Amino acid sequence: MSDAHNSKSKSTSRTLVSRIDRSYFHRPNALARMRRLLVLISFIFGIGWCVWGAIDTAKHHAPGPVAHVHAKWENDCEACHVPYSPIKDNTWLTSQKSMQVLETKCQVCHRVGIHHPLQMSSETGSCASCHVDHRGREVDLNRTSDRSCTVCHAAIATHRKSDASIATAPSPEISSITQFDDEHHPQFASLAVDPGRLKFSHGRHMLPGLSFGPLAFDENATDKPKDRVAISYGMLAEQDREKYQPKGSHSDEFVQLSCASCHEFVPSLPVGDIRAVSGLVASSPPGAYSLPVEFERHCAACHALPITGSDKPSASSLDTRGKDDIPHGLRAEAIRLYLEQTILQKAIQSDTTILDLKVPRSPLPSPQDQTIPDERLRTLISATVDASRTFVRGGCAKCHLVEDKELPFETSLLATDHSQKNSSSQSTWFSVGPVRVPAVWLRKAKFNHQVHRASDCRECHDAAYPNQIADIGGSLFPVGSPLDNQQVMIAGRHSCVRCHGPSKFDSATGTMIGGVRFDCVECHGYHGLGTHGLSSEAIESQSELFPAVRSHPIDDFLGSKKSLSDGSVPESFRSGSR
């Protein structure tokens, strides 16, 4: 019975086991098929990789020619890259470590600064993240995509560190930028206010005759404004007429200035007849920025600086300019010395008996100890010097901010003896502050006037033109033009987007507008090292290489050859205010 029971149990177990298909793992399934497929693909890929790697190995690591600026190192990979070594420290570098090693290679030649003091170091990309090489000889490595900029500037407030210097002040509004147009780009920040300290009116100087103030309609009226003097070409000195008078015009016609009369540009850096300019102009592309306006070159033809008489322009004063004019740009001490020496010379020339002086029985004085020992002569010219001081100060104050300055009397030529030289008495004179006119107005961008020379100046600088004139007696005279020295004469963003934007049809004018590049790098650089992307060190080094250049009006870009006169004042007399 026991045997029968065991036999029944075994039979039951076999029956149960036979119900299970024990060969299921021999049948193909999805997992097995996928595994075999991956093994086959990997094998084929490995064989293909070996074959591909054996053919033109160098081309695999250099997918294309390097840019022309790097062509010298075409076959010297180690100039930019770190050679691979399987058994070596830092063979498997972290991303941050690898970036530091490669950027060290870049900065051997390219010593650049950070983008912004408040940028986050964790978001600072590598050089190659923007400047991708091996794309061909003609590729401009500085032409990066807008996405390199908008990845942060689309929400710039979240991609910058807080400024500790303004922690106690309200945080300034930071505009987000996604592209250049009136909707997604803020107005130019540099156009807020003119920081210059020069009293000036572009509108007045653009009027015929540079006529200031309103006119009475009756030309025979006796109550005409005293300062209304229209300057004609015949009133200018001969050398100035050659510069300003157009061919075919008459001497009795009014002087008509243009933008190029004062704003000159540098089309090239020739060798020969050169003139020193700031390092900014020398280090910029030719024609990008205008040369500084200088009194002797651009103002003196109409604005004389006499030491006595009248400073109103007239035929006699302008034709004889320079003979008795005080040099422009003198320091306060030099102004007093110049007036005293000039008036003393005239006094001696008009009365030779003044020279009938006894020779002192003492050694000749040094230049620093020279005085006017004769009391009669000192008294004679003292009053004239005081009058000239007031007159000259008034002339300077027409265009400049003038401040009082106390000068020690012992340094004056009018000090009669050593006791006065050693005294502590002072006299009140005046000094002219710096004009502080910026060399570059769009400080956060770059601009080149030469490439825009086909455009009329008025398209961007309409505010510089007179807006009120009256036709009186067949001639144009001003009704009035206020000082505009606090207004920046640049139209702003809207004057740019008409050209720098997508091509589109303007229904108002019936013409196509836009089509000019408007990507970020067209106007902006990344490495903020100074004015328009140049470091102060770079500007100084460029200034040493190109210490001086010749200047020409913007008309010269169109082929004209004009020779401009140049004035000079001893450097020791310069105040450095221009």
Mean pLDDT over residues 92-120, rounded? Answer: 75
pLDDT score at 567: 36
Q: Give dist(CA 540, CA 326) in Å, integer.
A: 33
Identify whether 30 is part of a domain. Answer: no
Token pair of 424 as six digits = 């502590």
Answer yes or no: do 448 and 470 share one domain: yes
Is residue 403 domain-resident? yes
Do 453 and 424 have their domain in common?
Answer: no
Is 207 among the domain residues? Answer: yes
**Domain boundary at 158, 181, 213, which?**
158
pTM: 0.67
In a domain, 98, yes or no: yes
pLDDT band at 276 (very low <50, low <70, confident <90, very high): very low
Helix axes 375-397, 332-350, angle to 10 degrees: 130
Q: Are residues 449 and 314 in the same domain?
A: yes
Q: What is the pLDDT of residue 9?
A: 57
Average pLDDT value for residue range 388-398: 88
Single out the residue in 134, 158, 182 at which a domain terminates: 158
Same domain, 208 and 311: yes
Contacts of 81 by beta carbon, 8 Å cutoff, 6+ apart: 102, 105
Claim to verify: residue 445 and residue 384 sit in the same structural domain: no
Domain count, the chain: 3
Q: What is the pLDDT, as a whole number, of residue 382?
A: 80
- Bigger pLDDT: 140 vs 193: 140
> In this prediction, what percent of the chain has a pLDDT beyond 90?
6
User: What's the confidence (pLDDT) of residue 414?
Assistant: 72
pLDDT band at 465 (very low <50, low <70, confident <90, very high): confident
pLDDT of residue 267: 64
pLDDT of residue 83: 78
Give pLDDT tens digits for 7-24.
555 567 777 777 777 777
Contact 216, 223 (CB under 8 A): yes
46-55, 121-130, 310-319, 462-471: least confidently modelled range: 310-319
Q: Summarize the confidence of residues 556-575 as an average pLDDT.
A: 37
Q: Where is average pLDDT lowest: 21-25, 457-461, 573-577? A: 573-577
At which of 411, 432, 453 does a domain end?
432
* pLDDT at residue 214, as a whole number: 45
Q: How confident is the model over 248-273, as pLDDT tens digits?
A: 888 888 899 989 899 888 765 444 43
Q: What is the pLDDT of residue 109?
A: 85
b/e map 443-471, b = 16+ CB within 10 Å: eebbbebeeeeeeebeebbeebebeebee
Instruction: Answer yes or no: do 425 and 283 share one domain.
Output: no
User: Residue 285 corresponds to which tokens in the numbers above?
Assistant: 């592309």
Residue-number span of the structural domain to which 110 is assigned: 62-82+94-158
pLDDT average, residue stretch 281-290? 76
Identify whether residues 311 and 219 lie together within a single domain.
yes
Domain membership of residue 213 (yes or no) is: yes
| pLDDT above 90 for 197 | no
In the beta sheet, which residues pair with residue 574? 330
Whether residue 413 is contained in a domain is answered as yes
Q: Coil, helix or strand for 478?
A: strand
One domain for residues 467 and 569: yes
Q: Sorting pLDDT into bands at 50, 70 and 90, what band is 342?
A: confident
Q: Would you state the pLDDT for residue 343?
A: 84
Per-residue model confidence (pLDDT) at position 519:
93
- Average of per-residue pLDDT across 385-391: 86
Which amino acid type is present at position 272? G
The pLDDT confidence band at residue 500, using thresholds 50, 70 and 90, is very high
**pLDDT for position 468:** 46
Would you state the pLDDT for residue 517? 92
Q: Within a domain: residue 163?
A: no
**CA-closest candidate to residue 199, choices 434, 478, 483, 493:** 483
The tens digit of pLDDT for each residue in 232-251 reads 888 888 888 888 988 888 88
Indicate the residue type of 341. Answer: Q
Query: For residue 486, is it within any domain?
Result: yes
Same domain membership, residue 150 and residue 292:
no
Q: Which amino acid is at 293?
A: V
Cβ count near 283 (within 10 Å) = 20
Is residue 209 located within the same domain as residue 114?
Answer: no
What are the tens digits of pLDDT across the range 107-154? 888 877 778 777 787 777 788 888 888 889 999 998 988 998 998 898
Q: What is the pLDDT of residue 489?
A: 84
Pair 453, 560 in one domain: yes
Specify the residue for token string 């990309």.
125
Residue-wise pLDDT for 410-455, tens only, equals 777 776 555 454 555 677 888 898 888 887 888 778 888 888 988 8
Pair (146, 238) in one structural domain? no
